[in-house]
Chains A and B, each alone.
Chain A
């Protein structure tokens, strides 16, 4: 009997959950207080508590993941336990799908029902002075009713499809190309890992994927800067700005997370810290300079981040440490599923926010 089943590893005790809870609690309560202080215009400790909580949470997660990796290397993880991780990641991604569904649902409802109803019958006649439904919504009901006195202003210009002839000068098109390509490259990384022969090829494809993710983020940021500075399109520009920024913003946050996940997998697969750190520092510096260090042209930003990515790819081409095996690479696989999910969400955005926008 004893020999028939591999034991399922149940850790004795763990300090991680409680400390992760404390970190999470400080993070959200700090953030909540910070927001309240901003809204009231009062001084407080919200921001510091938020940052402290975030540091604790990230530190605990670092140690927690590290512990799981150690246990795996120690051979504690049976095939059954690994299936638990697979189920866990799969259902987590499903929960993320439902989170986005709420926002896509809001977009659908506003466009299909809310705006037409605002522009019909007595609602338009008495409340919102002949408001006309349109999408993208450039003139808000507030503007229709109150003219100059309106507080909720629509954007001056929008992000919608400029017509297929102009796609080459349209950032969302390039972002689509980047993300679709990255889904293919991460799949190449996976197949080269599965073939079990060439770890270096795996690292290279992974580095290319991560680079595409970073370039996507630069373009996305550029699009936001453009919207805020030139199009008058902001988070508070009526329902169009609301849905545009919330959908693309949450997607961008997920791309960031997915890129970091893949970068962590890549870093683990690169020999040593001496090799890991330089490209990571270069990326952080390049991003910081590109986004906050003055008004560089897009080409310069792309070149800076691209150069850092080049360093990353170069390092990835060095001797790999073979941490992943073709039958033991859950960390990478989970990250890649997440990446494919982020990609699919983008396709939804591209269709419903941009093309049909």
Chain B
């Protein structure tokens, strides 16, 4: 166990070390974040003005599709798994992940899966162009040939997620240090435990639905074909049975991250720890019974509309508990505003805005107006960008000193935050207005009525993109030339990960620590 890392490339190819694997996940996610971001900028450049300027409509569709798929499956999810790999064993006092070899398998599938997915851009007929939700029959009868490779890359990235999730559950349930009872676990551990459960529950459903597509395309089955007695709406039900828990998979670990950061910089323990745990579990449970709120306009019976509407609004209750707990944690705290805290506070505020627009969308009769407009785009970008992306950014600033033993440049971190914060709001806030004014999603050309809002959005998008380049620069500069960080890193940091040296030794907790 006393061995250090292997020399050369084999360290990364054959590693079983949770820190190495976490690092690879995070860098892979960063790469995908830039690729998905590049595709987003193609979209925003085309939408800068009405009319067709830069890309063909068919290519525009490929961009919206790949932007969504890459951000969801390539950037956000691997980033959270990377953070889980790095932090969970250190937070619960475990020597490594429970199944270290499978851990590396989970990682290595991803670069291959995304290489296959991105390579479809160069195929005849182009990349998938049916949106990240790949509704049938767009993705079956009318799909480009590359849909087959898309299906198989979804299959293997799903396998990667399931193995990753199994590993995380086994680690949390089996590897805690003596005395680390469930209700003493840091919230990041709790939220990941519940996220992993969601992953194992719904990734197989995604595998099932893409398999049905594959069979419809190549073997003449009728799952999504009314001519044979199937139903395209069936696709939407199965997809969203996966899809709604999936969006919580992308936000629950974020709750865990800000629940770690806010107490540190407010210098107070987290307010309402146990209610946070129960709220997370409630949100996970509710995520299974709200899926059809994505389909209010598809033609459901009134009872269905009502049930899914009320169930969806219920989610506001546990989410509200969380927001109040974060605010109450800050209440009368001795707050300082280092970069991780800035991102976390922005998370609380902006995620709440996204939550409120979600409530507006949850009202079925109103949703008939909002459906498939930029209002929906604004809503889910407000929960995903300041939600998932900001929390991941906050986590990187918060734990990077522990990972590499060096401190980032605080002034530059704050500059990054403010550019990102302004860029984000300039990009996505106007989308509420263009959406309410009726602008539909996924179109390359539009009515000049929405021109001003779109121009503002596009300027904001490039600003936000520039902020991320700065982020990359800050991270690299920290790793190669940052000032030495102390073991505690932060004045009021709390938890097992701060008891080990900075940078964290290659193997931590080979003998479990005592947890009081």
By CB atoms of chain A within 10 A, which of B16, B203, B227, B511 has the most? B227
- In the bound complex, residues from chain A placing their C-beta under 8 Å from that of B208 are 99, 101-103, 106
C-alpha spacing A291/B338, complex, angstroms: 70
Q: Is the interface of A mostly helix, strand, loop or mixed?
A: helix
Mark each residue of chain A from 49 to 78: 1 if its CB lies under 8 Å from any CB of chain B, else 0: 000000000000000100000000000000
- Cβ A17 vs Cβ B233 within 8 A: no
Smallest beta-carbon distance A8→chain B, Å: 5
Is the C-beta of A219 less than 8 angstroms from some C-beta in chain B? no
Task: Please report which residues of chain A, range 1-42, place their CB below 8 angstroms from some CB of chain B when the two chains form the complex.
Answer: 1-2, 4-5, 7-8, 10-18, 20-22, 24-25, 28-29, 31-33, 35-36, 38-40
Is the C-beta of B385 less than 8 angstroms from some C-beta in chain A? no
- In the bound complex, residues from chain B placing their C-beta under 8 Å from that of A118 are 226, 229, 231
- Cβ A105 vs Cβ B230 within 8 A: no
- In the bound complex, residues from chain A placing their C-beta under 8 Å from that of B283 are none
- Cβ B229 vs Cβ A240 within 8 A: yes
The residue of chain A having its C-beta at the shortest distance from the C-beta of B160 within the complex is: A21
- Cβ A20 vs Cβ B228 within 8 A: no
- Cβ A11 vs Cβ B100 within 8 A: yes
C-alpha spacing A40/B218, complex, angstroms: 10
Task: Please report which residues of chain A, range 91-106, place their CB below 8 angstroms from some CB of chain B when the two chains form the complex.
Answer: 91-92, 94-96, 98-99, 101-103, 105-106
Is the C-beta of B237 less than 8 angstroms from some C-beta in chain A? yes
The residue of chain B having its C-beta at the shortest distance from the C-beta of A118 within the complex is: B226
- In the bound complex, residues from chain A placing their C-beta under 8 Å from that of B17 are 10
Stretch at the interface among A137-145, A203-211, A311-319: A137-145
Given known pairs A80-B175, A83-B174, A239-B222, the reply for A15 and B215 (CB within 8 Å) is: no
- In the bound complex, residues from chain B placing their C-beta under 8 Å from that of A344 are none
- Cβ A84 vs Cβ B511 within 8 A: no
C-alpha spacing A1/B177, complex, angstroms: 13
Is the C-beta of B447 less than 8 angstroms from some C-beta in chain A? no
The residue of chain B having its C-beta at the shortest distance from the C-beta of A105 within the complex is: B238
- In the bound complex, residues from chain B placing their C-beta under 8 Å from that of A91 are 165-166, 169-170, 200
Is the C-beta of A235 less than 8 angstroms from some C-beta in chain B? yes
- Cβ B218 vs Cβ A239 within 8 A: no
Is the C-beta of A126 less than 8 angstroms from some C-beta in chain B? no
Given known pairs A12-B16, A14-B16, A36-B145, the reply for A106 and B204 (CB within 8 Å) is: no
Q: Which of B14, B95, B200, B212 contacts A106 (CB 8 A)?
A: B212
C-alpha spacing A141/B10, complex, angstroms: 58
- In the bound complex, residues from chain A placing their C-beta under 8 Å from that of B167 are 88
- In the bound complex, residues from chain A placing their C-beta under 8 Å from that of B321 are none
- Cβ A115 vs Cβ B229 within 8 A: yes
Smallest beta-carbon distance B434→chain A, Å: 35
Is the C-beta of B105 less than 8 angstroms from some C-beta in chain A? yes
The residue of chain B having its C-beta at the shortest distance from the C-beta of A68 within the complex is: B101
Mark each residue of chain B from 159 to 179: 1 if its CB lies under 8 Å from any CB of chain A, else 0: 100100111011101110000
Residue pairs across A and B with Cβ atoms less than 8 A apart, 10 shown, are A39-B145, A91-B170, A102-B207, A102-B208, A106-B238, A235-B220, A238-B229, A239-B230, A240-B229, A242-B221
